[in-house]
C-alpha cells in the first residue's frame, strides 16, 4: 500500500479554510491572525505535515541541496571533510549529494554533469589527480554556480578555497626526520600536478636546504593515483630500494601513500624505524594502532569541511554575486610516534 503525503489541500479541507490561508500560515505570514496561524500549525504538527521540497524548489528557484565531489569517500581525510560539510549543511537546511571521482577525470566530469543537471545550489570539490582540463568547471562557475574548492584547488578559478598548510606540514615532517638524525630522506608524493603535491614538495625541499642536505631527484617519486592503487606505491618504493644510496627515511605525501608504504615495509620485512623510518600525511585513526605506531602530519579535515560549507553558504545566500574571495589555510599537527 502506497502512503501519500499530506498536502496543504488536506489541511484546508479538514480545517475548512482556504488553501491560500493555510499556505500563508505555514510560511509564518503576518497576514494571518495569531489564532488561525496557531490552529493550522498545531494541526500540521499533529499529522506530521512536511512541505513538498520539489514544489518549494520550483517556486524559490532553489533546491536546498549542494553537490560534493571528492576522490574517494573511503579515504579517512575526505570522510572527515564530508562530516564537516554535512554538520554545517544540515543546520542550515541543506542536503548533501556526494560523488567520488576515484581519481578519474572522466568520472569527475560525469559527476559534475549529473550534479549540475540536478539543480544543486552550490558545489564543493576536490579535483582528481587526472584532472588537466578545467574548462567544464570554469563554464559552470561563469554561469553562476557557486563553487568552493577544498584541499586540491585550481588557481585559475577565482573563488573561495580551503586548504591545509601543506608547505608547513611537509616542512615540519622533514625537519623532524632531520632532527632525529636522518639525512637520506625520500619523498613519495601524490601526482606532481596537484596543488597539494606541489606545496608539500616545496616544504620538503625547504627543510632539506635549510639543513644543507642536497635535494636529489632520484629520492623523489610520484604516485599518479595518490596511493589509491597499492601497485603504484609498491613500484615507487621498489625504485627507491634499488638505489645505490638507499634512503634511511621516507616522507609519504598523502594518506593512502602513508599506509601503502607501511604495507610495503611489512611485506618486505623492513624494520620500522630500525631499517627505515616513516612519516606521512594521514588522518586515519588506525595509524596509532599499527606496529609501530606511525608518526603523521594530521590535517584539520573536519574543520576544513566546516569552513568550505560556511563559505559556500555565504555565496549561495548572498543577494549579490561575491567579488572578493579568500583562501583559508588551516594549520596541521605533527604527531610523533615510534615509526620515527
Residue range 62-163+301-331 forms a domain whose CATH class is alpha beta
Question: Is residue 61 packed enough to be buried (19+ CB in 10 Å), middle (13-18) or exposed (0-12)?
Answer: exposed
Query: Which residue's C-alpha cell is 608518526?
Result: 295
What percent of the chain has pLDDT above 70? 95
Three-state secondary structure call for residue 119: coil
Domains 62-163+301-331 and 166-298 share a fold: yes
Question: Is residue 57 packed enough to be buried (19+ CB in 10 Å), middle (13-18) or exposed (0-12)?
Answer: middle
Angstrom distance (rounded) from CA 268 to CA 100: 32
2-6, 85-89, 91-95, 170-174: range with lowest mean pLDDT: 2-6
Residues 6 or more apart whose Cβ sits within 8 Å of residue 55: none
Residue 249 contacts residue 275 (beta carbons within 8 Å)? no
Is pTM, for the whole model, over 0.95?
no
pLDDT of residue 42: 86
Three-state secondary structure call for residue 187: strand
Angstrom distance (rounded) from CA 236 to CA 257: 10
Angle at which helices 34-46 and 8-15 cross, to 10°: 120
- The mean pLDDT of 258-280, rounded to a whole number, is 96
**Digit-coded pLDDT (tens) for 189-198:** 999 999 999 9
Domain borders along the chain are 8-51, 62-163+301-331, 166-298
pLDDT of residue 332: 97
Query: Which residue's C-alpha cell is 616545496?
Result: 202
For every residue of 220-252, DSSP letters joined together read EEE-TTTTSSHHHHHHHHHHHHTSSS--SEEEE
Q: Is the pLDDT of residue 26 over 60?
A: yes
**Digit-coded pLDDT (tens) for 184-218:** 999 999 999 999 999 999 999 999 999 999 999 99
Angstrom distance (rounded) from CA 66 to CA 116: 10
- The mean pLDDT of 228-242, rounded to a whole number, is 96
* Residue 75 Cα distances to 101, 116, 121, angstroms: 12, 24, 26
pLDDT of residue 307: 98
Beta-bridge mates of residue 295: 279
Q: Is the pLDDT of residue 3 over 70?
A: no
pLDDT of residue 51: 66
Query: Which grid cell is 80?
Result: 572527515
> Which of the two residues, 6 and 69, has the higher pLDDT score?
69
- The mean pLDDT of 90-109, rounded to a whole number, is 94
Angstrom distance (rounded) from CA 63 to CA 243: 56
Please tell me the CATH code under which domain 166-298 is placed.
Answer: 3.40.50.2300
What percent of the chain has pLDDT above 90? 69
Nearest to 262 by CA among 279, 245, 274: 279
pLDDT of residue 184: 98
- The mean pLDDT of 272-284, rounded to a whole number, is 95
Residue 281 contacts residue 252 (beta carbons within 8 Å)? yes
> Which of the two residues, 59 and 50, has the higher pLDDT score?
50
Chain centroid to CA 238: how far?
A: 30
Residue 71 contacts residue 65 (beta carbons within 8 Å)? no
Report the run of H or E that residue 4 belongs to, with start and end: none
> Which of the two residues, 1 and 285, has the higher pLDDT score?
285
Q: Is the pLDDT of residue 317 over 50?
A: yes
Chain centroid to CA 50: how far?
A: 31
pLDDT of residue 58: 45
Q: Is the pLDDT of residue 172 over 90?
A: yes
Average pLDDT of the chain to the nearest whole number? 91
Three-state secondary structure call for residue 93: coil
Q: Is the pLDDT of residue 289 over 80?
A: yes
Alpha helices per DSSP H over the chain:
8-15, 19-26, 34-46, 53-60, 76-91, 105-117, 135-142, 166-179, 195-210, 230-241, 255-267, 301-316
Q: What band does 154 get if pLDDT is binned at 50, 70 and 90?
A: very high
Amino acid at each position: 500500500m502506497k502512503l501519500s503525503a499530506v498536502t496543504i489541500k488536506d489541511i484546508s479541507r479538514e480545517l475548512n479554510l482556504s488553501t491560500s490561508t493555510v499556505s500563508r500560515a505555514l510560511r509564518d505570514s503576518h497576514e494571518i491572525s495569531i489564532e488561525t496561524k496557531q490552529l493550522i500549525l498545531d494541526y500540521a504538527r499533529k499529522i506530521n505535515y512536511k512541505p513538498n521540497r520539489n514544489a518549494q524548489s520550483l517556486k524559490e528557484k532553489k533546491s536546498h541541496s549542494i553537490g560534493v565531489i571528492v576522490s574517494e569517500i573511503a579515504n579517512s581525510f575526505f570522510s572527515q571533510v564530508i562530516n564537516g560539510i554535512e554538520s554545517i549543511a544540515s543546520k542550515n537546511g541543506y542536503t548533501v549529494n556526494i560523488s567520488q571521482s576515484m581519481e578519474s577525470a572522466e568520472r569527475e566530469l560525469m559527476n559534475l554533469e549529473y550534479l549540475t543537471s540536478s539543480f544543486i545550489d552550490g558545489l564543493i570539490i576536490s579535483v582528481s589527480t587526472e584532472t588537466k582540463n578545467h574548462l567544464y568547471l570554469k563554464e559552470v562557475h561563469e554561469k553562476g554556480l557557486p563553487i568552493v574548492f577544498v584541499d586540491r584547488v585550481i588557481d585559475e578559478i577565482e573563488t573561495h578555497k580551503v586548504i591545509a598548510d601543506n608547505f608547513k606540514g611537509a616542512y615540519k615532517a622533514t625537519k623532524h626526520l632531520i632532527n632525529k638524525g636522518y639525512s637520506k630522506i625520500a619523498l613519495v608524493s601524490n601526482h606532481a600536478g596537484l596543488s597539494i603535491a606541489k606545496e608539500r614538495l616545496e616544504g620538503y625541499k625547504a627543510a632539506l636546504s635549510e639543513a644543507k642536505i642536497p635535494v636529489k631527484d632520484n629520492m623523489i617519486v610520484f604516485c599518479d593515483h595518490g596511493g589509491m592503487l597499492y601497485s603504484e606505491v609498491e613500484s615507487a618504493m621498489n625504485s627507491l630500494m634499488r638505489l645505490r644510496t638507499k634512503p634511511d627515511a621516507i616522507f609519504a605525501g598523502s594518506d593512502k601513500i602513508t599506509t601503502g608504504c607501511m604495507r610495503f615495509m611489512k611485506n618486505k620485512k623492513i624494520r620500522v624505524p630500525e631499517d627505515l623510518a616513516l612519516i606521512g600525511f594521514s588522518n586515519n585513526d588506525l595509524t596509532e594502532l599499527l606496529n609501530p605506531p606511525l608518526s603523521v602530519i594530521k590535517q584539520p579535515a573536519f574543520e576544513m569541511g566546516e569552513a568550505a560549507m560556511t563559505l559556500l553558504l555565504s555565496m549561495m545566500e548572498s543577494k549579490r554575486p561575491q567579488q572578493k574571495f579568500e583562501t583559508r589555510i588551516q594549520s596541521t599537527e605533527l604527531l610523533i610516534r615510534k615509526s620515527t
